[in-house]
Amino acid sequence: MAGKQARTHAKHPAKKKAAASPARGGKTGAPQTRGKRAVSPTHGKKAPARAQSHAGSRGAENTHAPNARGSRTAPVRYGGAQTRKRAYGQEKHSAQSAPSRPRSQQRSLCPVSDRCGACQHIDEPYNLQLRRKDKAISALFGEAGLLDDAVSVRPILGMDDPFHYRDKVISPFVPGHRISGRPADHRRADAPHDGRGPHGRHPSAGSRADRAARAGRYEILTGMYEAHSHTVVPTDGCLIENERATQVIEAIRRLMPRFGIEPYREDDNTGFLRHAVVRCAHESGEVLVTLVTNGDEFPASRAFCRELTRRCPFVTTVVQNVNTRQTNVILGERERRLYGPGFILDALCGLTFRISSQSFYQVNARQTEVLYRMAVDLASLDGTQDVIDAYCGTGTIGLVAASMGARSVVGVDAVESAIEDARENARHNGVENARFVADDAGAFMRREAAAGNACDVAFLDPPRSGSDVAFLDALCTLAPQRVVYISCNPKTQVRDIAYLKARGYRLDIVQPVDMFPHTDHIECVARLSRAGDKRLERSGGEGPACASGDQPAVARDERPTSARGERFTCASEGESGQRGCDERGDRK
C-alpha cells in the first residue's frame, strides 16, 4: 500500500551521545529514550519516541552521512531504481492527495519526516487525517456521478493505535563514508563489472579476517530512500514500522563487520548483502528474516544466524535469497534455508496462513482483518451463495468467505505459484468448500457463463491499475447478484464502477478503510448489486446487462488494455500473486 524503501543508520559507537542530540533550526528530534512514549503536542495518542538518528544535509543526488567524528558529513552517491526508492506510503495513491501543510516551529514526532516523505501527515492529529480521507472519498465518488440518496458512504474505519503497524520491513545495506585510517579499494575505469569485488574478488572471497577488514573500511548505512531521489534517509526509529523488525535490521548491521559481510554497491554490482526483508507475524509473534545476497556462497552463515538469534531471540527462521542481477527487483529466484523451517505462520480471521519470503501477505495485519471481515459482511453470505474470488492471490479473502458463510468458493489467479499457496492454505485450514484455479479470471468467468454455471457473489481485488474491459465484460456476462470490489486505488475503482453501472449494476455501499495511517493512501470497499437484486436468467452465457447500449463513463480506449501489465508493488520484490498494492508495499 501501497508500498509502499529502505532504512539508514549512520551513527558511530564512539559518539552515541553526540549523535543523539536533536537537530537545530526548528526541526528537533523526538525525545531520545527508546521504549518510552512521548505525547505529541498535536495528537491525543501517545507515540514512541524516536531513537538516535542523523539528519544530514542533502544534495541533488547525494546523501550526507556523519563521519566517524560525528561533526562533518561525507557524500554518499547511490544509483538505485524507482521500485526500491519509493518510501512507505507512496506506492499507493489516494483518491485525493492533500497538499503538504506548512511546517510549524513545534517539535515533529519524526525528525526526518520532511526528507523521508513516507508519513506525509505524521504531525496531523489522527482524527483530522480520517476526516480528510472521508471528504476525499465522498468528493471522488460524487464528482464521478456515482452518489445519490440510495448510496451509503460510510465513515472510514481507522486504527485504535496508528503506530508501528507495518509488519514487513525492507532495508538495503549500503556503504557510507570511508572510516578514517582505512585505505579504500580502487578500480580502474576500464575494470570489468562482473559482479566481483575490486581486483576481481568475489563478494564473499577471502578469509574471514580479510572480509572483515574490507567490510570495516566504510560505515554501513541502512534506512529509507528519500522520495523521488537516490538518497537514503536515516529512519532507525520509524514510527510506522514494527519495532522488532527495526531491532533485527540494527542487529544485522552491527554483525556485518564482525563476519566480514560487505554492503552492496549497486553502481558496480559489488559487495555481498543487498537487503534484509523482515516479516513479523502479528498474532503468532514469529519472525522471518530474508537476507538478499549478491552471491551464493555465505561463509560462516550458521555462526551468523546463531549470533543473530542470540541477539534477537524472537527470530524463528532465516532464509538466504540470491540475487546477482543488476536490477531494481529486490528478491532473486534462488533461495536456501539457513535457520528454522523457512516460513512463519500467522492467524487471520480465524484461519492460519503460511508465509514464506516469496508469499504475498498484507503488511498491516490489524487492519487487514477489519478489511476482510467488512468485505465478507457486505457480501451478505448466508450459506446459499456460490462465490468467485477474482485476483485471489494466495486465497486469503476466498478462504475467509468459505469459512464465514459461502456455500462454495472458486479462487482464480493467473500466477501459478500464488494458486499453489492458496491450495496449501486451504488444506492447512481444512477448508473443503473452496478450490483454486490458475487461469485468467476473465476467461474463466466467460467459460463458466457459457456452461450455464451460476455465481451469486464476486469478490474483486485487482492491482492498483484496476480491472480491464475484458474482465469487466466477462463479469457482466456471468452476472453475479452482488459484487464486492476492494481497491487500493479509489481512482481506478471509481472508473470501473462507472463502467459496471452503465451495464446494469447499482452502487449500494462505499466503505473506506485506513490501512496506512499518516499517509495519503485510502483503501476502499464498494458493494454493487444487480438492478432489482434478482437472479438474472442466463441464456447462452449472455446476461441482459451486457446487452445494454449505455456507454461507460470512461471511453474504452482510455482504459488500460490489461490489468496484468501492472502488478502490485511487491511484485518488484519478487513476490507472487496479482492481488494488491503495498503502500507499497503490500496487500493481501
CB 310: neighbour CB atoms within 10 A?
10
pLDDT tens for 373-400 read 999 999 999 999 999 999 998 899 999 9
Percentage of the chain modeled with pLDDT above 90: 50
Whose CA is closest to 513, among 405, 369, 399?
A: 369
Report the pLDDT averaged over residues 226-238.
Answer: 79
- Give the angle 120-126-132 at the CA atoms, nearest 5°: 70
Give the mean pLDDT of 8-16.
42
For 175-205, write each residue's pLDDT tens digit.
888 876 544 443 333 333 344 443 334 555 5
pLDDT band at 462 (very low <50, low <70, confident <90, very high): very high
All residues at 6 or more sequence positions from 160 whose CB lies less than 8 Å from its CB, including other chains: none
Banded pLDDT at 208 (limits 50, 70, 90): low
Give residue 67's pLDDT: 32
Domains of the chain: 13-79+163-348 (2.40.50.1070), 153-160+365-573 (3.40.50.150)
Top pLDDT among 446 and 434 is at 434
pLDDT at residue 235, rounded to an integer: 78
How far is it, in rounded angstroms, from Cα 3 to Cα 8? Answer: 17
Task: Say yes or no to pLDDT of 340 above 90.
Answer: yes
Q: Average pLDDT of 525-545?
A: 57
What are the C-alpha distances in Å from 285 to residues 37, 169, 255, 313, 381?
Answer: 22, 15, 23, 11, 32
Does 94 or 291 have the greater pLDDT score? Answer: 291
Rounded Cα distance between 209 and 68, Å, is 22
Give the span between the Cα atoms of 10 and 218, in whole angstroms.
10
Q: pLDDT: is 550 or 301 the higher one?
A: 301
Task: Please tell me the predicted confidence (pLDDT) of residue 1.
Answer: 43
> 25-45 pLDDT, tens per residue?
343 444 433 333 333 334 444
Mean pLDDT throughout 528-533?
A: 80
Active site residue 392: no
Average pLDDT on 274-283 reads 95
Distance CA 334, CA 325 (A): 12
What value does the mean pLDDT take over residues 425-454?
92
What's the CA gap between 7 and 225, in Å, rounded?
7
| Res 250: pLDDT | 94
Can you give the C-alpha Rg of the chain in angstroms?
25
- Residue 533 has a pLDDT of 55
Model confidence at 249, in pLDDT bands (50, 70, 90)? very high
Q: Which is nearest to 172 in space by CA: 229, 249, 77?
A: 249
Question: What pLDDT, on a 0 to 100 scale, did the predictor assign at position 214?
Answer: 55
Which one of 116, 488, 524, 581 is the catalytic residue? 488
Report pTM.
0.69
For residue 165, is pLDDT > 70?
A: yes
